[in-house]
Amino acid sequence: MDLVLNGEAYRLDGPATLAGLLRECQAEAGRTAVMVNGEVVRSSQYASVRLSEGDQVELIMIAAGG
């Protein structure tokens, strides 16, 4: 399935769920926040959110800042 991940084309080979994408990206669930098509997904819903062709996904983490 083709997604847009962080603004770039991304081919997801595994299961078409958010949890599957995070696993494939080796993104730790507790340290990665997710937006799908502009909507923030609560971390409790990662396993149940299914992804669709062309979905725009943003993976976000904590960084240093003032």
Partner 1 sequence: MTDGLKLGDRIFSSRLLLGTGKFSSTDAMIRAVRASGAELVTVALRRFHPGRPVDDVFGPLAALEGVTLVPNTSGARDAREAVRAAQLGRELAGSPFVKLEIHPNPHHLLPDPIETYEAAKILVQDGFFVLPYMPADPVLARRLEEIGCAAVMPLGAAIGSGQGLTTMSMLKLIIHEASVPVIVDAGLRSPSDAALTMEIGGDAVLVNSAIATAEDPELMAGAFAAAVKAGRDAWRAGLMPRSEAAAATSPLTAFLADEGAG
**Contact region with partner 1 (CB under 8 A), list: 12-20, 25-33, 47-55:** 25-33
Q: Does the protein bind partner 1 through residue 9 (CB under 8 A)?
A: no
CB 53 within 8 A of CB 1: yes
**Residue window 32-61: x/- pattern of binding to partner 1, with contact defined by CB under 8 A:** xxxx--x-x-xx--------------xxxx
Both structure tokens of 35: 């937006």
The contacts of residue 12 (CB under 8 Å, 6+ apart) are 1, 2, 3, 20, 21, 24, 51
The residues binding partner 1 (CB under 8 A) are 5-6, 24-27, 31-35, 38, 40, 42-43, 58-66
